[in-house]
Amino acid sequence: MTAIAHRYEFVYLFDVTNGNPNGDPDAGNLPRLDPETNRGLVTDVALKRKIRNFVTLDKEGGPGYAIYMQEKAILNNQHKRAYDALEIKPEDKKLPKDEAKAREITAWMCANFFDVRTFGAVMTTGINAGQVRGPVQLGFATSVEPVLPLEISITRMAVTTEKEAEAQSGDNRTMGRKHILPYGLYRAHGFVSAKLAERSGFSDDDLRLLWRALINMFEHDRSAARGEMAARKLIVFEHDSAMGNAPAHVLFDTVEVERVKSEDDGPARSFADYRVRIDAEALPQGVSVREYL
């Protein structure tokens, strides 16, 4: 497939209601926070995981859409698939001395694993498959306003063993805690490099799949912990060249998210409490904008 020919940037807005969008394992699974501003954070890794999961469901492992980084995946076995397919014998921690064969192995990984050609990968473990710089990168998502985590007490009526049931003398309730945000609207910025796509083979079909994943990935990621999460807005900037026509931050500055009412009216509790405005007149020449959702 032909690699994309244009550079892109995007602004991605999503929200959570009565849920924990990204727990921090170093803080008892509390929602991640910027301690200086109390704004919520969602890591790029968490967002990429959801994109990978959507592609897995959508493509069902079809040719060219396998997922390299998945739960309990043995990475050396993933690398070995390239060597087996190309009938090359692997050497411990080394690529083949023949540069053409080495490039062929890395190219095979890009062609067969969606997330390798999209996000890149360092594949230099015991069986070495090279290294790829991914054309698609995401920053951390940050909440538009400060958020307030709540700690909710919950109980479990069942027990695990007969011994535990006897010890509780008929009272089977076990107390627990879960952490939620009543509401939070998050904003993330993303980048798509056409020049890096030339190296990994990231195509227009892959780009359309990426947009579809961002729009729909929360629909297949429901859980009691995350409450209601929804993609609210995807704003895509397209340059008319591979190198681009303007710095990314100039484009991001044209997107404003503001409260419809004053903050004195109380905390936001839905996306309807915000207004998203794109200053299209401020866009540099050679850049167009498209709005999804």
Looking at residue 1, its pLDDT comes to 74
**pTM: predicted TM-score of the whole model, two decimal places:** 0.93
Please report, for the chain, the start and end positions of each structural domain, with discontinuous segments joined by +.
Answer: 8-148+179-292
CA distances from 2 to 5, 127, 201 (A): 9, 29, 7
For residue 15, the cross-strand partners are 185, 230
Looking at residue 195, its pLDDT comes to 98
Residues whose CB is less than 8 angstroms from the CB of residue 293 and which lie 6 or more positions away in sequence, other chains included: 215, 231, 232, 233, 234
Alpha-carbon distance of 81 to 98, in angstroms, equals 19
Q: Which pLDDT tens digits describe the chain residue by residue (293 residues)? A: 799 999 999 999 999 999 999 999 998 899 999 999 999 999 999 999 999 999 999 999 899 999 999 988 899 999 999 999 999 999 988 999 999 999 999 999 999 999 999 999 999 989 999 999 999 999 999 999 999 999 888 887 777 777 777 765 556 566 778 899 999 999 999 999 999 999 999 999 999 999 999 999 999 999 988 889 999 999 999 999 999 999 999 999 999 999 998 777 889 999 999 999 999 999 999 999 999 98
